[in-house]
Homo-oligomer: A and B are copies of this chain.
Amino acid sequence: MKNTSRLLDNLRDKGERITDVRKAIIEILSAAPRPLSVQDLLSALKKKQLAVNKTTVYRQLEQLLFHNIVREIRFQDRSARYEVSLGDDHHHHLVCTKCHKTEDISFEEDLERQEKVIMHKKKFKVLQHSLEFFGLCASCQKK
């Protein structure tokens, strides 16, 4: 809840309008236990009694990406997924390929060190990275 209004303030400060749709999308993404696809978002919006067109969702996400309020992640399947990005909470994902349960993890020893090495050795300026682990969660291993 707190995060949601913080993000909305953030947007307002940047001169963007606050509409019902935008607010709902941010709320849904903030509450989600895993990154959501556009389809996921559409279903969640429907549950909120907000019939939103998919085009609008795509456009909202585009803007939220631009403002670094959401982050785009691609798992192994076709569609992109989105999660709110709360500045300092950078993390990666454990994705169960069987039940699709998704968990966040963060490295003690961040990839930041690696990025510095890359910068130094390869002269490549890393702007972002994406790291996903795919496998079987504890309960799926038993099945």
B74, B75, B123, B124: the one within 8 Å of A76 (CB): B74
Which of the residues B109, B123, B129 comes within 8 Å of A132, measured between beta carbons? B129
Question: Chain B residues near A134 (CB, 8 Å)?
Answer: 126-130
**Given A72-B76, A76-B72, A76-B74, are A125 and B118 neighbors across the interface (CB < 8 Å)?**
no
Interface residues of A in 112-132 (CB under 8 A from B): 114-115, 117-118, 122-132
What residue in chain B is nearest A142 (Cβ atoms)? B123
What residues on B are CB-neighbors of A74 within 8 Å? Answer: 74-76
Q: How large is the interface on A (under 10, 10 to 19, 20 to 34, 35 or more residues)?
A: 35 or more
Complex Cα spacing A137 to B115, Å: 13
Q: Are A125 and B107 in contact (CB under 8 A)?
A: no
- Checking B80, B110, B141 against A123 with a beta-carbon cut-off of 8 angstroms, the contacting residue is B141
- List 11 interface pairs A-B (beta carbons < 8 Å), by A numbering: A94-B122, A96-B124, A103-B124, A105-B118, A109-B110, A123-B138, A124-B138, A125-B135, A126-B135, A127-B135, A130-B134
Q: Which residues of A contact B (CB under 8 A)?
A: 72, 74-76, 78, 80, 94, 96-97, 103, 105, 107, 109-110, 114-115, 117-118, 122-138, 141
